[in-house]
Amino acid sequence: MEREAIIRGLAAVLPPGALLASAEETRPWECDGLTLLRQRPLAVALPATAVELTALLRFCAAHRVPVVPRGAGTGLAGSALPLADGLLLSMARFNRILAVDVRSRTAVVQPGVRNLAISEAAAPHGLYYAPDPSSQIACTIGGNVAENSGGVHCLKYGLTLHNVLRVRALTIDGEELEFGSLAPDAPGLDLLAVVLGSEGMLAVMTEVTVRLVPAPETARCILASFGDVECAGNAVAALIAAGIIPAGLEMLDQAAVRLVEPFAHAGYDTAAAALLLCESDGTVDEVEAQIQRMERVLLDSGATRIAVSRDEAERQRFWAGRKNAFPAAGRAAPAYYCTDGTIPRQHIGRMLKAIQGMEQRYGLACPNVFHAGDGNLHPLVLFDDGDPDSVARAEAFGAEILEECLRLGGTITGEHGVGMEKINQMCSQFGRAELDAFTGVKRAFDPSGLLNPGKVIPTLHRCAEYGRVRVSGGRLPHPELPRF
Amino acid sequence: MQASPADLVEQVLAAAAARAPLCIRAGGSKDFYGGPVQGAVLDPRGWQGIQAYEPSELYVTARAGTALAEVEALLASRQQLLAFEPPHFGPGATIGGCVASGLSGPRRFASGYASGSLRDHVLGAQLLDGRGRLLRFGGTVIKNVAGYDVSRLLAGSLGILGVLLEVTLKVLPAPESESTLRFECGEAQGLDHLCQWRAQPLPISASLWRGGHLWVRLSGAAAGLQRACARLGGERIPQEEGRVLWDDLREHRLPEFHTTTTLWRIGVPDSAPPLALAGVQVIEGGGLRWLATALPASAIHARAQELGGHALRFRGGDRAATPFATLAAPLLAIHRRLKDEFDPARIFNPGRMHPEL
């Protein structure tokens, strides 16, 4: 079927204005949060009802049109990067909270509902939705499910995976699926576990039921300075070894502290080599006892300065610096590239030293913010997006960080997903047998292969190509080849 | 004697070539669970041993044939535990069988960081599939979203996709202290209490209702427990008696579980009203309604479905009939295709999860 006929066919199943196909209309949709990669889609659809969505999918299945689902487009790995011959399926109009039930502590929402909106709706009942990715004001629960998003409180409250009970979805043929249950242990294989984090490749979500948890009575935060990154890394391991599970445990290196302090005025110690933010939440007594234990461990681990938040305003101020790391990076350089990997906590110091070496080699600065409690790092590579050489160096820098994560026994993505950004490093993390098994899983859910094809699972050819790139030691021999 | 994966690969490939069913079985502690057990035994106990344990990294990696008791003893020596409190159901329980059966104990219903079922605590796994492939999924870190989460798909898969060779599980610090409270109340009132308390920030780590009493376990820092106990009221039962009670619930040693009729495991949303079915009942965590009854399977399944849940015949009854609730057709289609991807000759544990798989 030719392009124009497909567009006419798609428009025919939607109300006026719900299909965008002209160049001007589709340009704003050409990338998600990974702005390094851009591609205008064949068309953008904005269905608002299950009937419209089903009709769209059936049309796409019948005419072999690939479909790329998209939430708010805040994803940082390019999972929602459009395909030139594909439909970009925006779920933005599926934005209703269908129910908040206090008795079962659950909320039933459409996938286009924003993460924070769920907690806002639950707040009058003293409940909230725990996973809090830093984009929570804008990102949607559908995107969170697709990426199995994390946040700063994962160590204690889990990832999206641990907080989603049920997902309703459609196959590309418009058939209804229900994964998981509000009751414990749905029968059969745990398909929900696979759908979570499947980056829009297995089914199109229509409804998500999340678990709500009671808001803690109180929370307090410790701000601890360290004279050495290794020392700060060891303090993280020491806290866990002491049997403490903090509500949040974040780390900023000196470069990150100096980047955010002038911007956020958080009162950070700019002389420290690294800062730890260590939070406790719970009842007043629990928090009091835990803060005392945390202080002791941090001091024993060599903290040079310690401040404990005295009230909510001060706690918020402590967090303001961490939460403004990205905007501050945006101000400090023409562009920044935030990558995402996880390493065993004990190697945090080693990793930071390795990144310092890479800064020299690539000639780019890289401040670091970490979800230290999870060993999940977010290095911010600062570069100039107007300079192709700087862009290439930033990409190679990011790739080398991910390779280093693997060498240290970690993973190439902790919470952002693979998308297109990290597809090459999938060749390093997994062997061909595992990649084939992933292809098998995709086939089992989506025999047509039309749902977000080409993401996450690299082809044999791509891995061969990447292997050749890697041995050349960070220099890109064929800059004309698309690699992200 | 330590077998090698190569021996197991050979056994699997031979069975696949002959299309001869294999029954993956170690200690046999969960033989009763699921559909009929059939085929030549593949015993992974030759492949055992704890491979890595890093208390400060909060994980343990063990080969599938490792005794569950050995893993738990090692964790206990460092004041850590498997927070989902897996039932052993016999001295022969292995870590592989624990993950493959996917069964969790009372602490799965905990609030706070210890909450979640077995699958929530799986971080990685190595699988020998029906094509003889050795596959590694997941890893050792908590945050890991590279590729599909196949290691969690294996949790509770009853061996139908392949032989688990190694698993990595998240471990957590054991609670500083625990207290158990008892309340005299009827079923509906007990369920109401639980719903109200769970909507509050209380350190509840397990609950049990049976025979006109509700028991609640609280876990955490001593200071917090004192206040929570004062707030909830009830009668505080002696420490040792509490420990035995939760262990008896976990291992099904309570008298209600020793039934001459059929024991059903009925999972419902924890907000659901009483089952109102004839029989003797134990309620674990509000949402798991264990029912010993002679009622026909159809009546049980219908009531479970009506309440938004599902029933499974756990022990006793007609082993020839499938013990699980039926799967919707589109879901079953995905199951069939997954089975074909991992076990095209359909040799692993046929019928254990579903007559067609």
Stretch A250-256: mean pLDDT: 95
CA distance B1 to chain A (A): 29
DSSP designation for A451: B
Spatial separation of the C-alpha atoms in residues A138 and A149, rounded to whole Å: 13
Whether residue A406 lies within 8 A of chain B, CB to CB, comes out as no
Q: Does the distance separating the beta carbons of A343 and B201 come in below 8 Å? A: no
CA distance A307 to chain B (A): 23
pLDDT in tens, B57-97: 999 999 999 999 999 999 999 999 999 999 999 999 999 99
Spatial separation of the C-alpha atoms in residues A415 and A373, rounded to whole Å: 14
Q: What proportion of chain A, given as a percentage, has pLDDT over 70?
A: 96
Whether residue A62 lies within 8 A of chain B, CB to CB, comes out as no
Contacts of B212 (CB under 8 A, 6+ apart): B184, B185, B186
**Which residues in chain A are closer than 8 Å to B79, comparing Cβ atoms?**
243
**Which residues in chain A are closer than 8 Å to B349, comparing Cβ atoms?**
none
Task: Please check whether residue A73 is in contact with residue A33, taking contact to mean a CB–CB distance below 8 angstroms.
Answer: yes
- Rounded to the nearest angstrom, the gap between the alpha carbon of residue B243 and the centroid of all alpha carbons in its chain is 20
Q: What is the mean pLDDT of chain A?
A: 94
**CB contact residues (below 8 A), chain B span 321-350, against chain A:** 324-328, 330-332, 334-335, 337-338, 340-342
**Which residues in chain B are closer than 8 Å to A241, comparing Cβ atoms?**
55-56
Whether residue A286 lies within 8 A of chain B, CB to CB, comes out as yes
Give residue A101's pLDDT band: very low, low, confident or very high (50, 70, 90).
very high
**Which residues in chain A are closer than 8 Å to B80, comparing Cβ atoms?**
243
Strand pairing report for B177-184 and B213-220: antiparallel
Q: Does the distance separating the beta carbons of A185 and B223 come in below 8 Å? A: no
Residue A275 tokens read as 């800062």
pLDDT in tens, B257-274: 998 899 999 999 999 999
Domain with CATH 3.30.70 in chain B: 177-250
Spatial separation of the C-alpha atoms in residues A8 and A335, rounded to whole Å: 39
Residue A125 tokens read as 């009942």
Whether residue B234 lies within 8 A of chain A, CB to CB, comes out as no
Spatial separation of the C-alpha atoms in residues B101 and A192, rounded to whole Å: 17
pTM of the entire structure? 0.96
Whether residue B172 lies within 8 A of chain A, CB to CB, comes out as yes
Nearest to A80 by CA among A473, A426, A417, A431: A417
Task: Please check whether residue A481 is in contact with residue A465, taking contact to mean a CB–CB distance below 8 angstroms.
Answer: yes
Residue A4 tokens read as 């124009």
CA distance A178 to chain B (A): 8
Spatial separation of the C-alpha atoms in residues A3 and A23, rounded to whole Å: 13
Q: Does the distance separating the beta carbons of B147 and A456 come in below 8 Å? A: yes
Angular region, B162: left φ>0, alpha ψ -120 to 50, beta rest: left
* CA distance to A75, A375, A425, B6, B150, per residue, from A341 (Å): 15, 8, 11, 33, 19
For residue B152, the chain A residue with the least C-alpha distance is: A193
* CA distance to A183, B76, B106, B175, B339, per residue, from B251 (Å): 21, 18, 10, 20, 31
For residue A458, the chain B residue with the least C-alpha distance is: B147
CA distance B18 to chain A (A): 23
Residue with the two structure tokens 């015949």: B313
Q: Is the pLDDT of residue A480 over 70?
A: no
CA distance A481 to chain B (A): 23
Look up the ipTM and state it: 0.97
Task: Please check whether residue A155 is in contact with residue A248, taking contact to mean a CB–CB distance below 8 angstroms.
Answer: yes
Give residue A468's pLDDT band: very low, low, confident or very high (50, 70, 90).
low
Domain B177-250 sits in CATH 3.30.70: yes
Give the type of residue at A318. F
Spatial separation of the C-alpha atoms in residues B188 and B276, rounded to whole Å: 10
Domain B5-173 sits in CATH 3.40.50.2300: no
Give residue B321's pLDDT band: very low, low, confident or very high (50, 70, 90).
confident
Within 10 angstroms of residue A215's Cβ, the number of other Cβ atoms is 18
Whether residue A233 lies within 8 A of chain B, CB to CB, comes out as no
For residue B200, the chain A residue with the least C-alpha distance is: A214
Q: Which of B141, B172, B330 sits opposite A175 (nearest CB)?
A: B330
Q: Does the distance separating the beta carbons of B328 and A214 come in below 8 Å? A: no
Task: Please check whether residue B215 is in contact with residue B286, taking contact to mean a CB–CB distance below 8 angstroms.
Answer: no
Give residue A308's pLDDT band: very low, low, confident or very high (50, 70, 90).
very high
pLDDT at residue A470 in the model: 54
pLDDT at residue A327 in the model: 86
Whether residue A468 lies within 8 A of chain B, CB to CB, comes out as no
Q: Is the pLDDT of residue A479 over 70?
A: no
Give residue A323's pLDDT band: very low, low, confident or very high (50, 70, 90).
confident
Spatial separation of the C-alpha atoms in residues B214 and A307, rounded to whole Å: 43
Query: Side-chain half-sphere of A360: how many Cα atoms within 13 Å?
Result: 5
Q: Does the distance separating the beta carbons of B145 and A437 come in below 8 Å? A: no
CA-only gyration radius of chain A, Å: 23
CA distance A264 to chain B (A): 28
Task: Please check whether residue A173 is in contact with residue A63, taking contact to mean a CB–CB distance below 8 angstroms.
Answer: no
pLDDT at residue B2 in the model: 60
Spatial separation of the C-alpha atoms in residues B44 and A75, rounded to whole Å: 42
Q: Does the distance separating the beta carbons of B148 and A194 come in below 8 Å? A: yes
Per-residue HEC secondary structure of B31-84 comes to CCCCCCCCCEEECHHHCCCEEEEEHHHCEEEEECCCEHHHHHHHHHHCCEECCC
Sheet holding B280-284, edge to edge: B235-237, B177-184, B213-220, B204-210, B280-284, B288-293, B262-267, B310-315
* B288 DSSP β-pair partners: B267, B284
Domain with CATH 3.30.465.10 in chain B: 5-173
Q: Which of B137, B139, B201 sits opposite A215 (nearest CB)?
A: B201
Spatial separation of the C-alpha atoms in residues A104 and A106, rounded to whole Å: 5
CA-only gyration radius of chain B, Å: 21
Whether residue A433 lies within 8 A of chain B, CB to CB, comes out as yes
Sheet holding B59-63, edge to edge: B50-54, B59-63, B162-170, B122-129, B134-138
Q: Is the pLDDT of residue A408 over 90?
A: yes
Residue with the two structure tokens 């369920």: B191
**Which residues in chain A are closer than 8 Å to B335, comparing Cβ atoms?**
188-189, 191
CA distance B192 to chain A (A): 9
Q: Is the pLDDT of residue B144 over 60?
A: yes
**CB contact residues (below 8 A), chain A span 92-111, against chain B:** 101-106
Give the type of residue at A201. M
**Which residues in chain B are closer than 8 Å to A240, comparing Cβ atoms?**
55-58
CA distance A3 to chain B (A): 31
Whether residue A123 lies within 8 A of chain B, CB to CB, comes out as no
**CB contact residues (below 8 A), chain A span 200-229, against chain B:** 202, 213-217
Q: Is the pLDDT of residue A484 over 50?
A: no
Helix locations, B78-209, DSSP H: 95-101, 150-154, 187-198
**Which residues in chain B are closer than 8 Å to A371, comparing Cβ atoms?**
143
CA distance B187 to chain A (A): 16
Q: Does the distance separating the beta carbons of B137 and A186 come in below 8 Å? A: no
Residue with the two structure tokens 């930033």: A394
Q: Does the distance separating the beta carbons of B338 and A375 come in below 8 Å? A: no
DSSP designation for B174: P
- Rounded to the nearest angstrom, the gap between the alpha carbon of residue A111 and the centroid of all alpha carbons in its chain is 16
Stretch A297-305: mean pLDDT: 97
Spatial separation of the C-alpha atoms in residues B285 and A285, rounded to whole Å: 26
Residue with the two structure tokens 């862009």: A391
Nearest to B77 by CA among B57, B55, B62: B55
- Buried/exposed code over B149-184 (b: 16+ C-beta within 10 A; e: otherwise): bbbbbbbbbbbbbbbbbbbbbbbbbbbbebbbbbbe
Q: Does the distance separating the beta carbons of A342 and B143 come in below 8 Å? A: yes
pLDDT at residue A474 in the model: 41
pLDDT in tens, A141-189: 999 999 999 988 999 999 999 999 999 999 999 999 999 999 999 999 9
**Which residues in chain B are closer than 8 Å to A237, comparing Cβ atoms?**
56-57
Query: Side-chain half-sphere of A349: how many Cα atoms within 13 Å?
Result: 14
Nearest to B174 by CA among A242, A346, A234: A242
